[in-house]
Amino acid sequence: MFPPVVQNPPETGDILSAVAPLGRLPFSLMAKSHIQGFSVHEPAVGVCEHDVLLFRPDITVRARLRGPEVEANRRGACPAFPNARQSPPSPLPPRPLPGLPAAAMSASAVYVLDLKGKVLICRNYRGDVDMSEVEHFMPILMEKEEEGMLSPILAHGGVRFMWIKHNNLYLVATSKKNACVSLVFSFLYKVVQVFSEYFKELEEESIRDNFVIIYELLDELMDFGYPQTTDSKILQEYITQEGHKLETGAPRPPATVTNAVSWRSEGIKYRKNEVFLDVIESVNLLVSANGNVLRSEIVGSIKMRVFLSGMPELRLGLNDKVLFDNTGRGKSKSVELEDVKFHQCVRLSRFENDRTISFIPPDGEFELMSYRLNTHVKPLIWIESVIEKHSHSRIEYMIKAKSQFKRRSTANNVEIHIPVPNDADSPKFKTTVGSVKWVPENSEIVWSIKSFPGGKEYLMRAHFGLPSVEAEDKEGKPPISVKFEIPYFTTSGIQVRYLKIIEKSGYQALPWVRYITQNGDYQLRTQ
């Protein structure tokens, strides 16, 4: 059972004044409430299963309070509720954040569930939704799935469930208010990204192994239903696997929390200053059985790995069509980018004025921008298939693969996945290049070609026995899918014109640029 909640809890300011000099609560208050420790990362005062009083001041005050003694109590708190009902609501009145309209309200609570709907970890941010409401989520999900009416937003009574699935987990946010749904989903995907950067793989086992760190992250990611610090590089400065301890002096908030350039710390030094820039394009393609291109799309991204000292400014120039048209270079080869999305470090006003991508980069790896081109794309690897069925006996495949890009380029690690009947057996293969493997658990054969130069054509034949064929497959035929990677090549023709590195110390840095084209959702239907 929980110890009794304080009927008349002191104001947050009173608690802070008592905590600041000592790093712990007054003994009289702790004795009355049977409290043995406290944690400086909760929306308000409340008592949990492990006798921990939780409250949350503003972020600068909260960070300032994190001395060694505070951190020891903080890491000792393990608020893991075996039952979602036991997560107590806050006894303090709601504390809305200044400057945010009510319509921007995000989530009342956030849950992480396993595939059976069991709560692995949860956090109650507002206290206006019963934590047991999540028990209705899985039955509604299964019911909607059976009806073929599954939606990312489910409802039970007056409660809305906004959910996403990642690996073997469901991330669910609940709300009774008229929440901004796009904000909630953006937050859930950001939670996945932050957790993945902390634990490499986000799955049920990693949740169970790291629940203390996850609670700390949940408390920093959102405050009273509003997203707060969601940049993993900032979070990693004061939430680590080993805990954060300051050696001397009074605790201070991380510089990046209040810095104008919050995504980059000061005082970074490297012996060798380098920048690696990758332009990666994924080709989405769908071709009908008669050879017509039904859908084609290029989804691109520019990813960077930055190892630069100090606080450098980078300027990136692309062969942007808008820039070339404005400067009278319309005849030059250029690309018209659509749906451009930048990292927060990019100065958007500068880009709007002269199309220059100017930014102070985060340290390490990050995605600078993403874009999309919804234009006709010539299939890079064309597949022709002839499938002959001999009733009650066998099925024969003849697959022709042709590369339709320039001869000076080469596709690496090409995999052509050809679906076969579930009851096929006794496979026989013959190919002019590469190797062929039958994967019965996936009902497919995989033709692997390690190196596929441009302008080449290869042939593969396959023969299967069909001991139980009685009728044509009424469910249709799955398409052939292709995987590949072409280095030093972009389908759109995008080019990095320059990458300038400016730093007040004037050091020399080495920029490296690489282009990669790979498959996205690349499918060709068969007859």
- The confidence score (pLDDT) of residue 423 equals 83
Query: Which one, of 124, 84, 92, lies nearest residue 108 by Cα?
Result: 124
Residue ranges of the domains in the chain? 103-239+248-258, 274-377+491-521, 381-485
Q: Characterize the bridge pairing of strands 510-524 and 274-287.
A: parallel
**Does the domain formed by 274-377+491-521 have CATH 2.60.40.1170?**
yes
Inter-residue contact 38 to 45 (CB < 8 Å): no
CATH superfamily of 381-485: Mu homology domain, subdomain B (2.60.40.1170)
Cβ neighbours of 98 (radius 10 Å): 4
- The confidence score (pLDDT) of residue 201 equals 86
- The confidence score (pLDDT) of residue 327 equals 67
Q: Give this prediction's pTM.
A: 0.61
**Does the domain formed by 103-239+248-258 have CATH 3.40.190.10?**
no
- The phi and psi torsions of 458 (rounded to 5 degrees) equal -130, 160
- The confidence score (pLDDT) of residue 448 equals 96
End-to-end, the C-alpha distance of the chain in Å comes to 66
- The phi and psi torsions of 398 (rounded to 5 degrees) equal -125, 115
- The confidence score (pLDDT) of residue 5 equals 37
Q: Mean pLDDT of successive 10-residue segments in the chain (527 residues)?
A: 38 36 38 37 34 35 39 38 43 44 68 92 90 92 89 91 94 88 91 89 88 88 87 77 41 48 85 95 94 92 95 91 67 78 92 89 93 89 91 87 94 95 88 94 94 95 79 70 95 92 90 95 91
- The confidence score (pLDDT) of residue 148 equals 86
Given this chain, do its domains 274-377+491-521 and 381-485 carry the same CATH topology?
Answer: yes
**DSSP code per residue over 212-275:** HHHHHHHHHHEETTEE----HHHHHHH--TT-----SSS----HHHHSSSTTS-SS---SS-EE
